Amino acid sequence: MSAIPLIEFKNITKRFGSQTVLNKVNLQIYEGQVTTIIGLSGSGKSVLLKHIIGLLKPDEGTILFRGKPMAEMKKSEVRESLAQISYMFQGNALFDSLNIYDNIALPLIETTNLKKAEINRRVMARIEQTELTEATYKFPSELSGGMQKRAALARALITDPRIVLFDEPTTGQDPVRKNAILSMIAQYQRKFNFTAIMVSHEIPDVYFISNRILALYNKTIVFQGTPEELGNFDHPFNDEVIHSLEGLQKELTGLYSKRQFKMLKHVQLKRRESGENYCIAVFTLLDLDTIISVLGHDAAQEVIHSMGVYIDKHFGAIGGFSTRRKSNEFVTMLPFSDLAETESILKDFVTDFQAQGIRDIWAGAQKLAPSDKCVDFAILAGIAEGPPVAEIDFIIELAKSQQKEIGRLRCAAKE
């Protein structure tokens, strides 16, 4: 992390008429990171984002870009700074009278002197990367919400910006597509190394891809730090915002968030005063990036989602609870089982998984993948036992070190 923040807000206040939307907001955004601003709907997250791109001007306070106040910059400097930023609107803001190709090409046509052939090459590359080939010459109104989001993302990335602002990029998406969009943002952020600033209330999904979280509550920023640090943040924001959103998360995906997982683990273990051990199982989907590049984001997310549901279905029935720990990793806790019992449960799970589970997962992915594409994929599982006093992260690492392949699907087998 560089010492000087890329963007810094100092005591920013914004009012619309008599209504104060932002009140003395202070924040820092660092280069090369994914920073997510979380907060409830209508809390002023989009207003905050619009200040960064210059669509709104603060009533009070200073915005600094690489340590320099924007208000004191020359017009050309401001232009140069803003030229590094792209913005993906919450409602996509695609031009409905232009087809997808023209929408994506627009910034290049209007703001560069590139030749037509070069523009075409760049646009087609982005269209392919965002899996919009079939929609190239369709109008936005002819596309699904998810495809429109991807078109908006492709347009935001077409000029190779250094900073990309995402205003609720997953709004209105189902859990699979929501994760696909977040994974796409994370993947492109790594690939193109831009600074991503995202506004979202997809908690805890955004934790997986964010380096820093900023919490907007009561018109001001009440927390800045890593997702892990947010876990220890003692503030009404946690009860009112995070817990309510995480509750919804459980309803949608059937999986607990990392935070809920930890809390539940704590409660479960407390109940076991006899000092009996508990078990942890860790499942990992191998080569996620290959799956994404061959089958696309939607199909890859479907694989992950189905895997999570399958694990939860099996282990939930015997008192286990699961969470997604990384983009391709699931952790299941079995508070009432010892190692021998867990081994036996896992054995049954593996038999069932090899016979049917992996095929079900592939069948789900196939619906969203191009019909001629296919990729080998494997799933690992490992278990470990720990005493109630042991740190769960240590037991998870132990389980990971014990991982073995429990299922592999080869292309030939799929055909």
Partner 1 sequence: MEVTENNQHHTEAEEKYLPGMSLTRPFTFIGEKVIGWINVLGTATIFLCLALWKTFRPKQFSKVIAQIYYIGARSTTIIILVSLFTGMVLGLQSYHALIKFGAVGGLGALVSLSLIRELGPVLTAIMITARAGSAITAEIGIQRISEQVDALHTMRIDPFRYLISPRIIAAIISFPLLTAVFDFIGIIGGYISGVALLGLNAGVYSHSIQGNVDMKDLTDGFIKAIVFAVIVATVCCYQGYFVHMRKDSHGAKAVGMATTSAVVTSCVLVLVSDYVVTSLLLI
Q: Kindly tell me which of 110 and 251 has the beta carbon lying closer to partner 1.
A: 110
Q: How many residues bind partner 1 (CB under 8 A)?
A: 23
CB of 104 to partner 1, least distance (A): 11
107-115, 125-133, 210-218, 396-404 -> range binding partner 1 (CB under 8 A)? 107-115
Q: What are the strands of the beta sheet with 68-69, ordered from one edge?
A: 19-29, 7-16, 60-65, 68-69
Residue 114 in the binding site for partner 1 (CB under 8 A): no
Q: In what order do the strands lie in the sheet with 278-285?
A: 321-326, 329-334, 278-285, 377-386, 404-409
User: DSSP of 80-128, one letter per residue?
Assistant: HHHTTEEEE-TT----TTS-HHHHHHHHHHHH----HHHHHHHHHHHHH
In the complex, the smallest distance separating the C-beta of residue 16 from partner 1, rounded to whole angstroms, is 12
Q: Is 145 in the site for partner 1 (CB under 8 A)?
A: no
Pull the structure tokens for residue 91: 């409602």
What are the angstrom distances between the C-alpha of 313 and each of 74, 101, 204, 306? 60, 43, 21, 10
CB nearer to partner 1: give 115 or 270: 115
Residue where the block lists tokens 């290959």: 290
Site string for partner 1, 285-324 (x = CB under 8 A): ----------------------------------------
Question: Is 181 strand, coil or helix?
Answer: helix
From the list 1, 4, 71, 83, which residue makes contact with partner 1 (rule: CB under 8 A)?
A: 83
Cβ nearer to partner 1, comparing 73 with 378: 73
Q: Which helix (H) or strand (E) holds 146?
A: helix 145-157
Range 43-82, binding partner 1 (CB under 8 A): 53-55, 79, 82
Of the ranges 103-111, 176-184, 198-206, 395-403, which one interacts with partner 1 (CB under 8 A)? Answer: 103-111
Asked whether the CA dihedral 196, 200, 206, 212 is positive or negative, the reply is: positive
Q: Any idea what the Cα angle at residue 239 is, between residues 234 and 240, rounded to 5°? A: 125
d(CA 30, CA 279): 39
Q: Based on the shown chain and the rule CB under 8 A, indicate whether residue 40 belongs to the binding site for partner 1.
A: no
For residue 36, report the phi and psi dihedrals to the nearest 5 degrees: -115, 130
Residue closer to partner 1 (CB basis): 111 or 133: 111
Is 217 an interacting residue with respect to partner 1 (CB under 8 A)?
Answer: no
By CB under 8 A, tell whether 109 contacts partner 1: yes
Q: For the window 154-193, what string marks contact with partner 1 as x by the rule CB under 8 A? A: -x---x----------------------------------
Binds partner 1 (CB under 8 A): choice among 107, 254, 316, 370? 107
Which residues in this chain contact partner 1 in the complex, by CB under 8 A?
A: 53-55, 79, 82-83, 85-87, 89, 91, 93-97, 106-107, 109-111, 155, 159
